Amino acid sequence: MDILSFMFTNTVLLIVLFSGFADAIDIFTSYQSVSDGRTLVSREGIFELGFFSPGSSRNRYLGIWYKKIPVQSVIWVANRNNPIHDTTGLLIINRKGNLVLLSRRNGVVWYTDIKKGAQNPVVQLLDSGNLVMRSENESNSETFLWQSFDYPCDTLLPGMKLGWDLRTGLDRRLSAWKNSDDPSPGDFTVGVELYQYPDIVARKGSNEYVRTGPWNGLRFSGSPILRPNSIFENDFVWNEQEVYQVYNVKNKSLISRYMLNQNTYQGQHYIWIEKARSWMMITYIPRDICDSYDRCGPYGICVSTEVPPCQCLKRFKPKSSQNLYTMDLNPGCERSKPLNCQKGDGFIKYFGLKVPDTANSWVNRSMSFKECRARCFQNCSCMAYTPTDIRGEGSGCALWFGHLIDIKLVQDGGQDLYIRMSASEVEPKGHNKMKIAVIVPIAIFIVAGLLFVSCYICRSRASLKGFRENHVITDRSIEGQGEDSEVQLFDLALIANATNDFSTENKLGQGGFGPVYRGTLADGQEIAVKRLSKSSGQGLTEFKNEVALIAKLQHRNLVKLLGCCIQGEEKMLVYEYMPNKSLDFFIFEKTRSKLLDWPKRFNIICGVARGLVYLHQDSRLRIIHRDLKASNVLLDIEMNPKISDFGMARTFGGDQFEGNTNRVVGTYGYMAPEYAIDGQFSVKSDVFSFGILVLEIISGKKNRGFYNPGHGLNLIGHAWELWKEGKPLELIDPLLKESCNISEVIRGIHIGLLCVQQHPEDRPSMSSVVLMLGSDTELIQPKQPNFLIERKLPETDSSSSKLESSSTNDISMSILTGR
């Protein structure tokens, strides 16, 4: 036996003899140890420390994981760079008061480096997940000699600091696991960059990958998903001693973690859903193409809802004309009129931006906003300024020097930025009265001229309209919210060739709008072609509406529009192909419905809910679908849902919540009562349709045409009677009984009944529905819904039937299995 093995064996024997170590304790002293097979458990049983082997690896690591979660979710690893190859690992406190991890083969594999030794040191695993060392006589002190929170791995927990201790030079930075078998650091890291204006930056290797944008007193300017919400709250501490970000959950019973994923290069925020027995992802960064660092070059602005996403800031132009029609503006943009500081420049305010990369910034946090502008104006090298704290009227000062890069338009949030421009581009302050005196006579002259030519325009309008509707549509004839929408235009011959001349073999289905065909483009890409029939109630207006809307929507639970074709009398939409067709293809057919067990159906319910949250509150405009139903929920190859068919959708401004129409469109059986009877629609109309969809998914029965020999009620009425009688399980599709989580299904029925309440104000918002689906919070009891009796309606097509009638911040989620 060599000397190292002899010493190790004797050390183990002595510690075992004198340790008095017992399982399920949260603390050990210099007379105790943790060997492979034994663990520390925090006082409330939340976290556990011990040895483990990740994935399929046989290597042993000392780590901390959640005690009560069945999916092993490791949040910290001590020896991530130095694995142990056997089960002889031993954690002790040595004579100098340091934690030391030993193994027979490798000797010391990991240790803490506490310079000043402690008398009677004690190691404790806290319920926060923090492993700490302190002096035994300081049991109530928050001052630790050492703590694992100062040396994070890939996971950030509530209360952990991400950033710097300027007194010691400690940089608390996250680094992803290389893979699920190897916890050693990968090349994906996140930390606080100590620029003059600090920022949180994710890196791939040494290259910047994503920025959050600096903290502005309320939020990170470039990350609206980190704005105040009902689940967690962020804070950013920036003083002479420390610079760090920290988050906390508002409900202390909620289990939450933020971790880096090397495979997807994402930072992902999860909460544990006990009923689902899985982790639910509530946020992730990057979320879209515009989160990529410096996507559009100097003075380019990335707009995720545009195609291409890279634009030039107003009053700027592309450096190269070749960039006008590409997906990138990497060479960037330049001012349309050059600066001339000696003759005097000015500043123009740009709204709602992720402010530029702060590497070349200067900050004075005590300066007033007025002083900030003056400081930038006096320095010809200063290209932009903004307050560092936007609360109140704004205070503090951040200046930028050199080119402005990595700018993004933030739909809900962002920050105002003042950019130096040529004086000729800036509105002169003292010339308003002169402008009015000049403009008014000119305006009168113009109006007179317009009246003169209006007759000619009216006469030619009819022939012009006929010409436009019977020729190939141009980019500028597809209008969305007052802006040109850049949509790929397909030639009719190309579509005909892709669908084998619209053969019956390629036909996927038939709706009130017309048939849908499967096709394959020359490059092998599969497409679905929605061909509007001449008799379709969806005319050119609805068609353009669908193109304009879907082109601007980007969400994992919304179908992706590839382009369109208008040629002669043909009007077609080209979508991504969904190999599993639509939801109604499965749930209403006995054989195929067996393929949708409860986990898949629950995932579909959650996915549709997330898609509606995006439409109702996270997209640029508030969008009401107005025709949500099973046939308009498409399924991809993994049975993930995507909402489709936006021909009937309506958009609202940010402060508008409801509307009224004399033309009620949609599908019987899914319409909210206030919409079907009075033509009133709102986001709560979609909530009603969602409630019907939930009840259909759970029962496997259609609301419209539902028959029960015991009564004449429709599906809503049947569900309500069973709920009232305390027999909700009788509603469940018999095919789900082996796979379903009973409490989860009952909660789904409960939510479905809340969504179909008679009065819109009694229905929850879709963001509330998402939280209800993902939590165990107690729900209010539903009232008796309306439309309980099956109504005898005129026979119509099974799709979009139409009739003329007189009549916090919360976060998208997805369920994933965590490590």
φ, ψ (nearest 5 deg) of residue 409: -80, 125
DSSP single-letter state for residue 582: B
Distances (CA, A) of 637 to 507, 554, 641: 19, 19, 10
CB atoms within 10 A of CB 633: 25
Short-list 92, 80, 99, 91, CA closest to 144: 99
First to last CA, the chain: 40
Nearest to 73 by CA among 252, 246, 257: 257
Q: Using CA atoms, how far apart are residues 39 and 63, in angstroms rounded to an integer?
A: 10
**DSSP letters along 643-670, please?**
E---TT-EEE-TT--EEE-SEEES-TTT
Q: How far is CA 773 from the centre of its chain?
A: 17
DSSP state of 221: T
Residue with tokens 């009788």: 730
The SS3 call for residue 507 is strand
Q: What are phi and psi of 92, to 5 degrees?
A: -135, 170
Structure tokens at 372: 């900030």
DSSP state of 331: T
SS3 string of 535-549?
CCCCCHHHHHHHHHH
Is the backbone of residue 280 left (phi > 0), alpha (psi -120 to 50) or beta? beta
- The answer to whether the Cα torsion of 668, 669, 673, 674 is positive or negative is negative
Alpha-helical segments (H) within 661-741: 673-678, 683-699, 715-724
> Using an 8 Å Cβ cutoff, are 549 and 646 in contact?
yes
For 440, the token pair is: 């008014």
Residue 111 · residue 99 · CB < 8 Å: yes
Neighbours of 455 (CB within 10 A): 9
Instruction: For residue 282, give the nearest of 207, 226, 244 by alpha carbon.
Output: 226
CB 616 within 8 A of CB 608: no
What residues act catalytically? Answer: 627
598 token code pair = 């409860």
Rounded CA-CA distance 470/87 in Å is: 78
At 302, the amino acid letter reads C
The two three-digit tokens of residue 563, written as one number:
């382009």
CA distance 386 to 400: 9
Torsion sign (Cα): 85, 86, 92, 94: negative
Of 358, 475, 368, the closest CA to residue 406 belongs to 358
CA distance 115 to 211: 35
Angle between helices 715-724 and 742-755 (to 10 degrees): 120
Rg (CA), the chain: 31
CB 415 within 8 A of CB 199: no
